[in-house]
Structure 1
Amino acid sequence: MAAAAGSHEFRTVESRDGYVGRVIALRVDEVLMPGDGTARREVIEHYGAVAVVVLDEDGNVVLIHQYRHPLGRRLWELPAGLLDAAGESDVDAARRELAEEVGLAAADWSVLVDVAASPGFTDEVVRVYLATVLSTVDRDISLGDEETDLVIERFPIAEAVRMALAGEIVNASAVAGLLAAQAVLSGVGQSRPADAPWPDRPHRFADRHR
């Protein structure tokens, strides 16, 4: 008799590495399917990341315009970065990225959303924070690669949401974070504490470097 739908354990019976790079790895798994057969699943392992909806006292959000090579153009995004520093908490990583990329610090932090970037093939999940009560700090001028070319601008949050709905902002964590921030500000939902549990935080790629 077939097991009830939703009760099968998708167990990995074999795993091998296809590629291991600086910020990702490709893992190939054989996974037990319903009916006792197996299927191959290719998984991109990733450090995971944090992003920040930075909201100032005038209701503006800080966005950066940065070149993204896979799409071949510059995108409007939130300040963000990898969880690649050993021993650093998630919110401390967000604080670091906020200072490095846009030269700001925030006194009040909360979690807006956790975004699984594309769970069909990657374990990348981005935690998006809301940061308020801002102050200026020294920006890291030693940023490398594409970051040396980024442009920093402030937009009214309503305009940023319009840009997301119009397809002018397509970065997944930016779209989700801006819509979530608008929902919180409108009283539709509530943000979570800055240290809220994060069960889907990626760890496999980071574990390779420990």
Structure 2
Amino acid sequence: MGIQDTPEEWLVTATETPFTGNKTSVRTDDVVMPDGSVVRRDYQVHPGSVAVLALDDEGRVLVLRQYRHPVRQKLWEIPAGLLDVPGENPLHAAQRELYEEAYVKAEDWRVLTDVYTTPGGCDEAVRIFLARNLSEADGERFEVSEEEADMELARVEVKELVRGVLAGELHNNCLVVGVLSLAAVLAGDGIDSLRPAEAPWPARPFEV
């Protein structure tokens, strides 16, 4: 028998939003536990994100290096971004992020995996796509600013990224999950076994 996560919602007797930011907020819920007690849970409310593991014809992954202030590090990552519009099609958002951050387009798209980044304290859901058949994007380059103005781009072999993850040298959630998922797919049933790019995503429903 396989295992899978299932939807469930415990009774909330009170809720408030003590902080609202530009993109996210903090919510406080009073939640009824199985024993009848009521406990308070604080968590970040997040619109959701997409990420793109872009694999070129030479088996290299497109990665970028960006400063992340909360952890005070420059992290190697894969292109990613927020779902800025409620109900936004995640594939369209992923295509936009790949263009804006790497000036690249892809012809073949699959869903690599779906994850909750930190479900104990945040409701962020991320869909990670696998993109192949890469080429340079058309039109003008997207004008970057703030942390993105300092980004570095590179193309790195999958096995080198796997080595870096397992050695504790690479820490970005989407890169770690994406690279290890791809390695598992390549060692298992192959890329054709992945879900199509428009596969349903219950965590962030969208219109095709």
TM-score by shorter chain over 0.5: yes
Specify which of 194, 198, 201 is matched with residue 201 of structure 2. 198
1:115-154 mapped onto 2 (5 Å cutoff): 115-137=115-137, 138=139, 140-154=141-155
1:65-144 mapped onto 2 (5 Å cutoff): 65-86=65-86, 88-137=88-137, 138=139, 140-144=141-145
- Once the two structures are superposed, residues 14-73 of structure 1 have per-residue CA deviations (whole angstroms, 9 ceiling, x without a partner) of 100110001110000000112221000001001110001100000000000000000101
User: Closer, same or farther in 2 for the Cα pair 1:86/1:165, shift >3 Å?
Assistant: same
Q: Which amino acid aligns with 1:197?
A: P
User: Closer, same or farther in 2 for the Cα pair 1:143/1:55, shift >3 Å?
Assistant: same
Aligned to 1:21: 21
Aligned to 2:5: none
- Once the two structures are superposed, residues 55-98 of structure 1 have per-residue CA deviations (whole angstroms, 9 ceiling, x without a partner) of 00000000000000001010010110000035531000000000
Deviation at 1:174, TM superposition (A): 1.0
In structure 1, distance between residues paired with 2:205 and 2:122: 10
Determine if contact 2:47/2:86 at 8 Å carries over to the other structure.
no
Aligned to 1:206: none
Calculate percent identity across the aligned residue pairs: 44
Q: Which amino acid aligns with 2:151?
A: L
Q: Which amino acid aligns with 1:196?
A: A
User: Closer, same or farther in 2 for the Cα pair 1:86/1:45, shift >3 Å?
Assistant: closer
Aligned to 2:180: 179
User: Closer, same or farther in 2 for the Cα pair 1:139/1:119, shift >3 Å?
Assistant: farther
In structure 1, distance between residues paired with 2:90 and 2:46: 15
Deviation at 1:202, TM superposition (A): 8.3
Aligned to 2:37: 37
Deviation at 1:140, TM superposition (A): 3.3
In structure 1, distance between residues paired with 2:149 and 2:174: 22
Structure 1, unmatched stretches of 5+, are 1-7, 204-210
Structure 2, unmatched stretches of 5+, are 1-7
- Once the two structures are superposed, residues 149-201 of structure 1 have per-residue CA deviations (whole angstroms, 9 ceiling, x without a partner) of 00000001111111111111111111011111111122246321111111122
In structure 1, distance between residues paired with 2:36 and 2:94: 43
The TM-score normalised by the length of structure 1 is 0.88
Q: Which amino acid aligns with 1:179?
A: L
Aligned to 1:12: 12
Runs (4+) off by over 3 Å: 85-88, 138-141
Q: Which amino acid aligns with 1:157?
A: V
